Amino acid sequence: MNYQVIIPAAGSGKRMGAGYNKLLMNLAGRPIILHTLDVFETDPNCSRIILVIHSADEPFFTEIKSRYTKIYIVYGGNERQYSVFNGLKAAEAEGIILVHDGARPFIRPETISRLVQSARECGAAIAAVPVKDTIKKVIDLEVIETVDRSSLWQVQTPQAFRFSVLESAHEQAQKEQYLGTDEASLVEKIGHTVKIVESDYDNIKLTTPEDLYFAEAIIKKRNR
Ligand code: CTP
Ligand code: MG
């Protein structure tokens, strides 16, 4: 089942604090973004990788592009949502399209294929894991209530959509100047159902420096 993927990689990695885009940082001997790109480059069902970059990182990406056959490079915007929207314009307007953060190198091919399947059936499907911790609602450092955890899921990427669904959602958000934190929130806004595909806890987003320790541990575990 073929699909295209948009990979937003145009952030600046402020919370990682490296002073440059975190995706170019080294993880087990290679830049983080190459770990992510390899998953899709080697997936025979992936027909196109739309890689969204910042112009400051162009020298790096021009250098690595020749090693990949599926990559189209486009420029990002100053919010993740705008980067994805730019990516969408470079996609073929048909079939299933995924959006996957460049900062999540541990996505499993098996999860990708379940997402593609679910998006084909329902139009929109997102990777997520059940919340493990007890979550409380707090105002001014005072607990208001303990939220029922059984219905809470922690959302990840990939998020998979029928192309027409993601396009309508983005166009509507643009019109209303709505800025969501993920693609699914835009799709929810247009009243479309979004399904969950249970992913795993390895699929972390590398956000702060300690995530690099977790990442090294995951790689070690997988190499065993
Ligand atoms: N991203 C993007 N365009 C932006 C902002 C983010 O393409 N304007 C990408 C990032 O490169 C990353 C993904 O979206 O792969 C998820 O964003 P995040 O983890 O927040 O990365 P950064 O925005 O780079 O980090 P920070 O928020 O700490 O600055
Ligand atoms: Mg960010």
Name which residue sits closest to atom 1 of ligand 1, judged by CA.
11
What is the number of the ligand 1 atom nearest to the C-alpha of 84?
7
- Residue 10 is classified by DSSP as -
- 129 has which bridge partners? 154
Assign 1 a pLDDT band (cuts: 50, 70, 90): confident
Q: Give the domain CATH number at 23.
A: 3.90.550.10
Q: Is the dihedral of CA 119, 2, 179, 13 positive or negative?
A: positive
The number of the ligand nearest the C-alpha atom of 83 reads: 1
Q: Is it true that the peptide bond before 158 is cis, omega within 30 degrees of 0? A: yes
Pocket test for ligand 1, best of 79, 80, 212 (most atoms within 8 A of CB): 80
Considering the chain, what percentage of its residues have pLDDT values greater than 70?
100
Amino acid at 181: T
The number of the ligand nearest the C-alpha atom of 77 reads: 1
Pocket test for ligand 1, best of 7, 12, 24, 57 (most atoms within 8 A of CB): 12
Helix axes 80-89, 163-176, angle to 10 degrees: 130
90 three-state secondary structure: coil
* Mean pLDDT, residues 83-108: 98
pLDDT tens-place string over residues 58-82: 999 999 999 999 999 999 999 999 9
* Mean pLDDT, residues 74-102: 98
| pLDDT for residue 21 | 98
Range of the domain at 141: 3-223
Amino acid at 8: P
Distance CA 120, CA 139 (A): 41
- Quote the ipTM score: 0.99
Distance CA 184, CA 195 (A): 9
Count of domains forming the chain: 1
Q: Looking at the predicted structure, is the pLDDT value of residue 169 above 90?
A: yes
Contact residues of ligand 1, CB 6 A cut-off: 8-15, 22-23, 52, 76-80, 83, 101-103, 205, 207
- Residue 5 is classified by DSSP as E
| pLDDT for residue 66 | 94
- pLDDT, mean over the chain: 97
